[in-house]
Chain A
Amino acid sequence: MQWETVIGLEVHVQLATQSKIFSGASTAFGAAPNTQACAIDLGLPGVLPVLNEGAVAMAVQFGLAIDAEIPETSLFERKNYFYPDLPKGYQTSQMAQPIVGKGEVEIVLDDDVRKRVRIHHAHLEEDAGKSLHEDFHGMSGIDLNRAGTPLLEIVSEPDMRSAKEAVAYIRAIHAIVTYLGISDGNMAEGSMRCDVNVSVRPKGQETFGTRAEIKNVNSFRFVERAIEFEVERQIELIEEGGKVVQETRLYDPDQDETRSMRTKEEANDYRYFPCPDLLPVMLDSAYVEHQRSTLPELPTDKRNRFETDLGLSTYDAGVLSATRPMAEYFEAVLAVCGDAKQAANWVQGELSGHLNRENIDIRNSPVTPEQLGGLIQRVLDDTINGKAAKQVFAALWNNEGQSADEIIEARGLKQVTDTGAIEAIVDQVIADSPVQVAQYRDAEPEKRGKMIGYFVGQVMKASRGTANPQQVNSVLKQKLDEA
């Protein structure tokens, strides 16, 4: 039988506010346990929440970026359950009236096929703390630093049909939130976590199959692997006459499998009701329009512009618009050098190579976009040749000079284009290599092409790489062939 996979995602994005969603405690990552858990985060008796404007603004910006409706009124509710990392015994969240309504995200697949994924809604909520399971005399330790960190939960419709589509969707969400600057998108630190709903159905069937929810998957790769495993598991199960049960599963990257999270499935009853400590949030159109005016160019727009206006290939446009720091770097280089193709080649080539090799984020690149742009300018105006350019780049990378010009000057890398000067070096090389010259001249003309390489190398060496290679070639040919 032919099976079709159906995937819906809930992506929890940690918002990049300074303080927590309902308190003035810091959200900085990595502090000592419970040093960033204030009275409100701890749920001490008598404390009250006050909503962070920054979190509201970020949620609205996301909504606008996905063309969603921003309802005038949204409500916070309490989701009641007991867990040690949940200090108040309820999570303040939104259900009936979320801050962001229906929207849409465009995803791009490998073969440049584009697809739209519908967003059901996005809502604000508070994060929980963390349980640490190192052995404290058989106890667990609770760190509530993360409790109260603002989360935007983005809930998609079940519009994805493969693991690849799901990953493309998460990448698109990642690009949007990092472009907006509303999240650092750092999946390793848990800034983006996904719950994946997976089901399968026979191709052509309209109704959905029973879904399993895979909780808390925290990398692009794991999302793909978890879905692939789960789809295979469900198909096998059904084909063997079994039934998929609706349940929560956990992806274990070490075993590369999903496992049922609870042995006895407990019926949860979260008893949602409007939080009496928080009044309805009203956002008038002036506020929404103000937020709209702060939006940067979004990834899809940027990608299209790179392709259409700058004439970049689809591939280059995709890579260079994938993250905001990358796009910003590229555009800054372009602003200095004025040549999109050169800028694209250098950013994706030499720069990305160095960054990847040393595992450095582009935002911390030792070579600034201004320096790289200046370097490309010197290539474009023939001041240096490609070989020298690489030397200059390496020098900039190692902080051996402030600018390309300074390094070119200091190292005498300026390209020699004076024919007289080149002729002089060529003459010298010919004079110093009587054996090779004789071999060359004895050779069949069709073999000479290969043999000339030796002379080019000698000339370049003698000029310390500064001679213009095209000129060297033609002068050599002329002089060797003339006798």
Chain B
Amino acid sequence: MAIEHADVLRAAHLARLGLNSDAEAAGYVDDLTQILEMVDRLQAVDTEGVAPLSHPLDATQRLRPDEVTERDQRERFQACAPATEDGLYLVPRVVE
């Protein structure tokens, strides 16, 4: 399946990756085209009736008891934050 310029722009938007120029986008179109051509080898395989495999082991989810085990570490966690005030993370105004 070919990938179009618009597909790359759409993926970049969904992934919130800023592209600086058309040339940059065009570069990714070329790269992704190559990669998807390679990936397209998958289409030749008959996988009728094969269940998808998400995890390499046939394991099931282990559950955690409902207990509070974490204490407040706000100061430590916010030490690596770019912008905080009054314990809040600051972001450009959220419009709702």
Residues of A within 8 A of B (CB): 17-19, 23-26, 32-39, 42, 44, 50-56, 80, 82, 84, 131-133, 136, 138-144, 250, 261, 269, 271, 274, 276, 278-282
Contacts and interface: CB of A to CB of B under 8 A. Distances in A.
A138 B64 contact: no
B77 A279 contact: no
A49 to B, nearest CB: 9
B74 A35 contact: yes
Contacts of A138: 92-93
Given A32-B87, A279-B60, A25 B70 contact: yes
Contacts of A142: 88-91
Contacts of A19: 66-70
A37 B94 CA distance: 20
A439 B74 CA distance: 84
A33 B93 contact: no
Contacts of B94: 84, 131, 133, 140
Q: Which 9 A-B residue pairs are closest in the complex by CB-CB distance?
A: A54-B66, A141-B88, A24-B69, A53-B63, A38-B70, A33-B87, A142-B89, A35-B72, A279-B61
B64 A24 contact: yes
A80 B65 CA distance: 28
B77 to A, nearest CB: 6
Contacts of A44: 77
Given A32-B74, A56-B63, A142-B89, 20 more contacts: A24-B70, A26-B68, A34-B74, A35-B74, A37-B77, A42-B77, A51-B63, A52-B66, A54-B65, A84-B94, A133-B93, A136-B90, A138-B92, A139-B92, A141-B89, A143-B88, A271-B14, A279-B62, A280-B61, A281-B63
A152 to B, nearest CB: 14
A18 B55 contact: no
B54 interface: yes
Contact of A52 (B59, B60, B64): B64
B66 A53 contact: yes
Contacts of A26: 68, 70
A18 to B, nearest CB: 5
A19 B65 CA distance: 9
A136 B85 contact: yes
A141 B85 contact: yes
A51 B64 contact: yes
A159 B85 CA distance: 47
Given A35-B74, A37-B74, A140 B63 contact: no
A284 to B, nearest CB: 10
Interface of B is mostly: loop
Contacts of B87: 32-35, 143
B83 interface: yes
B73 interface: yes
Nearest to A130: B88
B46 interface: no
Contacts of B14: 80, 269, 271
B60 A281 contact: yes
20 contacts: A19-B70, A24-B70, A32-B74, A34-B89, A35-B72, A44-B77, A51-B62, A51-B64, A52-B63, A55-B66, A84-B91, A131-B94, A136-B88, A139-B90, A139-B92, A140-B93, A142-B91, A144-B89, A276-B54, A281-B63
B86 interface: yes
A38 to B, nearest CB: 4
Interface in B29-75: 54-55, 59-70, 72-74
A239 B93 CA distance: 39
B67 A141 contact: no
A33 B72 contact: no
Candidate in A34, A82, A140, A269 with the most chain B CB atoms within 10 angstroms: A34
Nearest to A40: B70
Contacts of B67: 18-19, 24
A139 to B, nearest CB: 4
A32 B60 CA distance: 36
Contacts of B93: 133, 138-140
B77 A132 contact: no
Nearest to A25: B70
A24 B63 CA distance: 12
A82 B66 contact: no
B11 to A, nearest CB: 10
A141 B91 CA distance: 6
Nearest to A31: B72
B92 A140 contact: yes
Nearest to B66: A54
A84 B88 CA distance: 12
A57 B89 CA distance: 33
A24 B61 CA distance: 17
Given A52-B66, A133-B93, A271-B14, A38 B88 contact: no
A354 B61 CA distance: 50
Contact of B83 (A133, A139, A274): A139
